[in-house]
């Protein structure tokens, strides 16, 4: 499964909206926000370690997109363009957080944020297993297995070669499989 | 299409995907999305005044109309100025006792006559 691409009629309507937004219509941009916000959040959440960072990344991403709207070419897919910007904002937040944590709170790197809503065993174990994955592997795994993006799309979003995305996915799955092995054997 | 084994054993991948999706879903349901949308639009609106080209876009129609009006005024002024100059030239010709063209042609004619006379009476 890949990211959904709009039907031709929808694509035309979206291009018209983008053109309106480019000529300064805030209401047209509001419709674009409403349409793409959830997908943008999913991309940001796959990259950011926390929900709060993902939310900041989505807001930053839309703001960057709004400022750069003049440079967007309508023949491009708006969703792909926006998701690249949001992914970049999420990576940026992750980098800033790492620097901040390294300077001030080194212990936060080894203390996973435990979500009390993780009631099911599988979810709880998955959550813990995800936290020990390297950031990029976790992002690739979620973007591919949960959000359905292709290796190529993930590579473009994260700024890595497609082969690296493929290899990250393989390693992430192997790592999770290993950590959850006993869970499966118990059943 | 070849399906690469994922995380769980055969038949368990959907369960894993569901768990992963639940882990990454925001809490709060629709209220969260409405709040997020509001926050995004508030940030965009607050920054709108800083974007000069957005201001330009907003005033584009007015600027185009002003430009067109300025062009019409400039064209009329140029036309009027030509008309005034041309009128002044005509008045100068009309008020003059000897027409400049006639003076010029007569001078030329006289010079030519002189040359012929000098040739005839000359040594």
ipTM score of complex: 0.79
Range with top average pLDDT, A38-47, B49-58, B73-82: A38-47
Higher local confidence (pLDDT), B123 or A115: B123
Sorting pLDDT into bands at 50, 70 and 90, what band is A119? low
Q: What's the whole-model pTM score?
A: 0.66
Range with lowest mean pLDDT among A129-133, B4-8, B18-22: B4-8
Return the pLDDT at B100. 57
Q: Is A180 on the interface with B (CB under 8 A)?
A: yes
How many Cβ pairs closer than 8 A exist between chain A and B? 95
Integer CA distances (angstroms), B76 to A78, A126, B69, in order: 47, 78, 11
Record the tokens describing residue B94, joined without a space: 């009309």
A 9-48 → B contacts, CB under 8 A? 22-24, 26, 29-30, 33-34, 37-38, 41-42, 45-46
Record the tokens describing residue B21, joined without a space: 């999706």
pLDDT digits (tens, 9 = 90+) for B25-76: 888 889 999 999 999 999 988 875 555 555 566 667 777 888 888 888 888 8
Record the tokens describing residue A130, joined without a space: 């995800």
A 78-107 → B contacts, CB under 8 A? none
The answer to whether A97 and A53 have CB atoms below 8 angstroms apart is: yes
**Residue B43: closest CA among chain A residues belongs to which residue?**
A63
Q: Which of helix, strand or coil describes residue A4? A: coil
Name the nearest CA neighbour of A40 among A1, A88, A105, A74: A88
């Amino acid at each position: 499964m890949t990211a959904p691409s709009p039907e031709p009629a929808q694509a035309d309507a979206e291009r018209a909206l983008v053109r309106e937004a480019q000529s300064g219509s805030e209401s047209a941009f509001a419709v674009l926000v409403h349409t793409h916000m959830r997908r943008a959040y999913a991309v940001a959440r796959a990259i950011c370690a926390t929900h709060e960072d993902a939310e900041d990344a989505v807001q930053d991403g839309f703001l960057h997109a709004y400022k750069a709207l003049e440079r967007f070419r309508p023949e491009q897919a708006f969703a792909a363009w926006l998701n690249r910007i949001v992914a970049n904002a999420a990576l940026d937040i992750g980098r800033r957080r790492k620097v901040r944590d390294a300077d001030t709170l080194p212990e936060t790197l080894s203390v996973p944020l435990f979500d009390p809503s993780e009631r099911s065993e599988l979810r709880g174990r998955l959550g813990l297993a995800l936290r020990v994955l390297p950031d990029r592997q976790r992002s690739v795994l979620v973007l591919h297995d949960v959000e359905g993006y292709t290796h190529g799309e993930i590579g473009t979003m994260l700024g890595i070669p497609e082969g690296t995305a493929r290899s990250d996915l393989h390693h992430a799955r192997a790592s999770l499989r290993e950590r959850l092995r006993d869970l499966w054997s118990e059943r | 299409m070849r399906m690469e084994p994922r995380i769980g054993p055969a038949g368990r991948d959907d369960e894993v995907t569901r768990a992963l999706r639940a882990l990454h879903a925001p809490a709060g349901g629709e209220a969260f999305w409405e709040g997020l949308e509001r926050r995004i639009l508030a940030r965009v609106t607050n920054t709108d005044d800083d974007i000069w080209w957005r201001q330009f876009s907003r005033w584009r129609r007015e600027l185009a109309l002003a430009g067109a009006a300025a062009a019409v005024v400039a064209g009329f002024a140029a036309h009027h100025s030509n008309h005034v100059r041309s009128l002044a030239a005509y008045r100068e010709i009309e008020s003059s006792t000897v027409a400049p063209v006639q003076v010029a042609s007569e001078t030329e004619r006289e010079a030519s006559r002189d040359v012929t006379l000098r040739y005839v009476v000359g040594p």
